[in-house]
């Protein structure tokens, strides 16, 4: 074994309400034997610096102030004692309502000097739900306890919900419920009320107007209405038309029909601290000029915290602050297919991991689930490329292999015309699968690699083929949560 190598990772998270930066030291080591393919794994991680938590600067209600975000990041690099040249890997993620701001791509461009070769992405509401659920510890708890656990990531503008069953993502969704959907002056004059918050207020016969003072009892009643909608979403009350009305655009509807009962509930995001600690007697209920603490109080006093086992995760407000580490380095060869060597190298391509049910549908000749998943993933991510990953099976029959190839070829139709179809299979069928797919596609490069294990939310680097084209070097990067 080699001696561990330590690298510096940075995570930059730009959310609806807050922006933050985190630095971690990641120890990596080749855990394979001397005469085997290298496998570089993370053996230790230490958070060495956590920034202040900043209010995400805006030019107006629809545009992020990219210059001020860049100034925040630059100042935090200086306070931490690092420069962009010191960082080996990392991630810049725009989440929540910020991902919907019209200039999110421009903000990422402003941070390009800090990002370098890092994973740089916006995360749609469903992807953010999964990221936060992993960051809070809900996914790990579900896996270790072999149970169903749900994470509610409640930020300023949205509540991202991820349901995990034995560690596998069993459902996800997002609602326009958050702590900054009503903003106020210290005297409780309303400066902003979102359309979703206005609907909730109207449903409770509460009349809130911008420029007018709001009663504390009215604000609490609106927050109780929001908490009740979350209860409806998790099956504690019949679902109302209002619940559908506050569903976040671009989000999948979270359907608990047929799911196992939820055992544990986790909270993350800015409102989570209010859920876990509550409001103290005499404490200012609107210290941040919004309803965040009041919403946390309403959830704490409602049915969510009594109907399920309340667990506090590793992270709450920092659950989506991430750094990207080089997780495994390996070679795929002998049974690979690629139709155009010119597509290599590829950097930071996000992974879409098919569920066993989606894979089986493909083997059975039903292409719709795979195509729908690809369409969903592209809507959730700002990437025009992705890797479709599946476990495969050891010795599929020829008809099943042909059916899977046809499904993959049909799913490729969801990709932009210039994007290659990238397939990664754990079992040893990539060459036959790739050839079968290539026979069905013209004008689109096809790459199929095997013997590689990846998970949802991983990213992959694919190097130029080596050894006369027999092998392709692959680096799998995973998001390391702060």
Choose among 70, 53, 71, 72: nearest CA to 292: 53
Q: State both tokens at 232.
A: 């409806």
What are the residues whose beta carbons fall under 8 Å from the beta carbon of 241, sequence distance 6 or more?
A: none
Start-to-end CA distance of the chain, whole Å, equals 27
**Chain Cα centroid distance, residue 175:** 15
Residue 427 burial (CB < 10 Å; 0-12/13-18/19+)?
middle
DSSP label at residue 142: H
Choose among 436, 265, 457: nearest CA to 363: 436
Q: State both tokens at 353.
A: 């991991």
User: 75 and 12 in contact (C-beta within 8 Å)?
Assistant: no
Q: Which residues of 45-62 are buried (b: 16+ CB within 10 A; e: fewer)?
A: bebebbbebbebeeeeee
Looking at the DSSP bridge assignments, the partners of residue 10 are: 23, 90
pLDDT at position 1: 45
Tracing tokens 């689109």 back to the chain, one arrives at 444
Q: Which residues of 204-230 are buried (b: 16+ CB within 10 A; e: fewer)?
A: eebebeeeeebeeebbbbbbbbbbbbb
pLDDT at position 337: 84
Looking at the DSSP bridge assignments, the partners of residue 267 are: 152
Choose among 315, 344, 378: nearest CA to 447: 344
User: 188 and 214 in contact (C-beta within 8 Å)?
Assistant: yes
pTM: 0.76
Peptide bond into 80 cis (omega under 30): no
The DSSP code sequence of 367-410 is -HHHHHHHHHHHHHBS-S--EEEE---SS--HHHHHHHHHHHHH
Distance CA 254, CA 288 (A): 30
Where do the structural domains in the chain lie, given as residue ranges? Answer: 5-123, 127-310, 325-481
Q: State both tokens at 164.
A: 């995990």
Low-confidence ranges of the chain (pLDDT < 50): 1, 35
CATH of domain 5-123: 3.30.420.40
pLDDT at position 102: 65
Q: CA torsion angle for 100, 273, 82, 458 (degrees, to 10)?
A: -60
- Cα–Cα distances in Å, from 174 out to 18, 251, 256, 291, 316? 18, 6, 14, 19, 17
Distance CA 231, CA 225 (A): 10
User: 324 and 480 in contact (C-beta within 8 Å)?
Assistant: yes
User: 164 and 170 in contact (C-beta within 8 Å)?
Assistant: yes
pLDDT digits (tens, 9 = 90+) for 355-369: 999 999 999 999 999
Choose among 271, 294, 277, 151: nearest CA to 217: 294
pLDDT at position 460: 87
pLDDT at position 230: 97
User: 459 and 352 in contact (C-beta within 8 Å)?
Assistant: no
């Amino acid at each position: 074994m080699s001696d561990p190598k330590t690298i510096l990772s940075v995570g930059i998270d730009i959310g609806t309400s807050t922006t933050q930066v985190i630095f971690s030291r990641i120890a990596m080591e080749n855990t394979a034997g001397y005469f085997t393919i290298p496998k570089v794994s993370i053996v230790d991680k230490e958070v060495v610096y956590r920034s202040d938590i900043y209010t995400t600067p805006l030019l107006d209600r629809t545009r992020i102030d990219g210059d001020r975000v860049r100034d925040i990041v630059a100042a935090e690099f200086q306070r931490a004692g690092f420069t962009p040249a010191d960082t080996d890997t990392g991630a810049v993620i725009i989440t929540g309502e910020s991902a919907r701001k019209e200039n999110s791509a421009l903000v990422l461009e402003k941070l390009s000097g800090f990002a370098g070769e890092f994973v740089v992405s916006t995360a749609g509401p469903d992807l953010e739900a999964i990221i936060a659920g992993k960051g809070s510890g809900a996914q790990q708890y579900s896996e270790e306890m072999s149970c169903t656990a749900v994470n509610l990531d409640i930020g300023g503008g949205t509540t991202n919900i991820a349901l995990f069953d034995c560690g596998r993502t069993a459902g996800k969704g997002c609602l326009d419920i958050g702590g900054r959907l009503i903003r106020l002056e210290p005297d409780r004059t309303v400066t902003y009320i979102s359309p979703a918050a206005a609907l909730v207020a109207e449903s409770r016969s509460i009349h809130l107007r911008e420029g007018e003072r709001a009663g504390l009892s009215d604000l609490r009643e609106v927050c109780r209405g929001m908490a009740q909608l979350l209860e409806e979403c998790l099956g504690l009350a019949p679902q109302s038309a209002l619940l559908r009305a506050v569903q976040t655009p671009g989000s999948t509807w979270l359907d608990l029909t047929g799911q196992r009962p939820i055992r544990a509930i986790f909270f993350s995001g800015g409102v989570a601290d209010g859920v876990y600690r509550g409001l103290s007697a005499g404490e200012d209920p609107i210290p941040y000029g919004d309803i965040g603490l009041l919403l946390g109080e309403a959830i704490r006093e409602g049915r969510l915290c009594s109907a399920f086992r309340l667990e506090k995760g590793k992270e709450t407000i920092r659950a989506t602050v991430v750094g990207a580490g080089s997780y495994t380095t390996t070679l795929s060869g002998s049974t690979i297919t690629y139709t155009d060597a010119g597509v290599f190298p590829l950097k930071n391509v996000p992974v879409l991991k098919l569920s066993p049910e989606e894979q089986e549908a493909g083997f059975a000749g039903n292409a719709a689930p795979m195509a729908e998943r690809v369409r969903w993933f592209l809507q959730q991510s700002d990437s025009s490329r992705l890797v479709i990953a599946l476990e495969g099976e050891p010795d599929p029959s020829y008809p099943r292999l042909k059916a899977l190839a046809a499904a993959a070829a049909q799913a490729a139709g969801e990709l932009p015309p210039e994007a290659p179809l990238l397939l990664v299979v754990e079992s040893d069928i990539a060459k036959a699968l790739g050839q079968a797919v290539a026979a069905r596609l013209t004008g689109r490069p096809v790459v199929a690699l095997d013997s590689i294990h990846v998970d949802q939310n991983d990213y992959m680097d694919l190097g130029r083929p080596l050894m006369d084209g027999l092998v392709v070097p692959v680096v799998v990067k995973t998001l390391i949560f702060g």
